Amino acid sequence: MSYSNSSMGSGSRTGRRTFEFGRTYVVKPKGKHQATIVWLHGLGDNGSSWSQLLESLPLPNIKWICPTAPTRPVAILGGFPCTAWFDVGELSEDCPDDFEGLDASAAHIANLLSTEPADIKLGIGGFSMGAATALYSATCFAQGKYGNGYPYPVNLRAIVGLSGWLPGARSVRNKIEGSHEAARRAASLPILLSHGLCDEVVPHKHGERSYHALSLAGFRNLSFKTYEGIGHYTVPKEMDEVCNWLNTRLGL
């Protein structure tokens, strides 16, 4: 298998907490390297399982980087510790977002992409909580800064979110509308959202709400795919559409 392990992990320090990220798995391109995508796993998973699936996709020009989230207590699991990109209580518009955790993960992802060659197109994708983190990164890219105000350092060309949601959806429109540069970046960033209609873990309505929140905030290059009869998992048809979308949007 053509992926290699990096060192065991790296830390990302924010104001109050230090997050220790787990092992990163890399799937090297089988053809000419044209794009690099960081792919983010869901709650309780790790980078290894997704690296094996991504390696099987017919995308020979993409390098995949699959990091592993820090292990932390998670409120939705009653404080039980597991791998998570940020803390989450419940999926509701009233539940506060863990922006400190989101910023730490978004910074870790951006750091992984920042060492790629200048001519390589960069993207972020993910499943479930990984999709939520990818979408949060998209809003940071558009604003040009993280939630904590530090500058966002990389130029994103594609975002894929499977069975996820948008953290901070209530405030994203105000943050982007106030800046011409932010509005320009939002309008130009291609985003693919897809969601199973029978998802009982992250209900389909959260995907729809995320789509509408991004659209209202000025993200114009949006696609939203719904899969009937599909729960909280991926199927070959969905991954085929992801491949076709990436080939088109990244010009591979």
**Catalytic: which of 98, 194, 199, 206?**
199
Rounded to whole angstroms, how far apart are CA atoms 81 and 130? 17
What φ, ψ does residue 103 adopt, rounded to 5°? -60, -40
The CB density around residue 70, as the number of other CB atoms within 10 Å, is 24
**Catalytic: which of 128, 137, 194, 210?**
128
Active site residue 171: no
Apex 98 CA angle, 221 and 16, nearest 5: 130
Active site residue 108: no
Active site residue 232: yes
Among all residues, which ones are annotated catalytic? 128, 199, 232
